[in-house]
Amino acid sequence: MKFAQLLTLLLAGLMTFHAQAGDPEAGERKAQVCAACHGADGNSTDPSNPRIAALGEKYFVKQLEDYQSGAREDAIMQGQAAGLSEQDMRDLAAFYQQQTREFGHTDPEVAEKGERLYRGGNLDSGVAACSGCHGPAGEGMEAAGFPALAGQHAEYTKKQMRAFRAAGRDDLDAVAYRRNDTEGDDPGIMQSIAARMTDREIRAVSRFLQGLYE
């Protein structure tokens, strides 16, 4: 291979790597529009809006991609994600990953039950331990794309868990009806777990996570 061809390939590889790597400084500039709902550093004060500081870069980008494609529905977020490039998403993810997550407070009695579910699940109902995917300290698993949950607003977590539960029960009913499941995929991990959880369990886990580090 000629030197010029080799140089071209190396430069192309470097350009691809650069396009894939997130730039936190660029992300900080692009995040100004996000601050109204999520706070300047990703720590929202409104419990209906999630804390996105230190959420996990892979998970962060995936959510923006899903909003953009319509796989995840939310009128505000779909509008915000519509004009983002892949590089924009990675820059935003890199910026927010460098921020420090804030933590809330929770009722110790409720947190105790939530901690048991988070760490041990519920064998009787088939609810798996949350810590298996989200880490013993709620720090998430970046390589697998599982988000950090520690410190998240209880109200937001509860809302998402209920949405997972509704979708999971619909999916489980559909799978049972189809019997051989020839018309679609099995329910997702979170949908399957949430479908087996009661309101009390969802509330307990959500409140435990909100104050996990206090």
Residue ranges of domains in the chain: 3-97, 108-210
Rounded to two decimals, the pTM is 0.83
CA angle, 91 as apex, 68 and 131 as ends, to 5°? 75
Mean pLDDT of all residues in 85-89: 98
* Calpha distance 108→110 (Å, rounded): 6
How many residues are recorded in the chain?
214
3-97 matches 108-210 in fold: yes
Task: Return phi, psi of residue 34, to 5°.
Answer: -80, -20
Question: Which residue in the block uniquely carries the two structure tokens 């983002």?
Answer: 84
CB within 8 A of 166, min separation 6: which ones?
none
Question: Which residue in the block uniquely carries the two structure tokens 């979170």?
Answer: 190
What is the CATH architecture assignment of 3-97? Answer: Orthogonal Bundle (1.10)
Tell me if residue 141 falls in helix, strand or coil.
Answer: strand
Cβ-contact 172, 192 below 8 angstroms: yes
Q: Within 10 A of 39 (CB to CB), how many other CB atoms are there?
A: 19
In CATH, the number for domain 108-210 is: 1.10.760.10
What is the overall mean pLDDT for the chain?
87
Question: Which residue in the block uniquely carries the two structure tokens 């820059």?
Answer: 91
Query: In this structure, what DSSP letter does residue 43 have?
Result: -
- Which tokens is 107 given? 């009722």
Amino acid at 122: N
Q: Does residue 212 surpass a pLDDT of 90? A: no
pLDDT digits (tens, 9 = 90+) for 11-53: 444 444 445 789 999 999 999 999 999 999 999 999 999 999 9
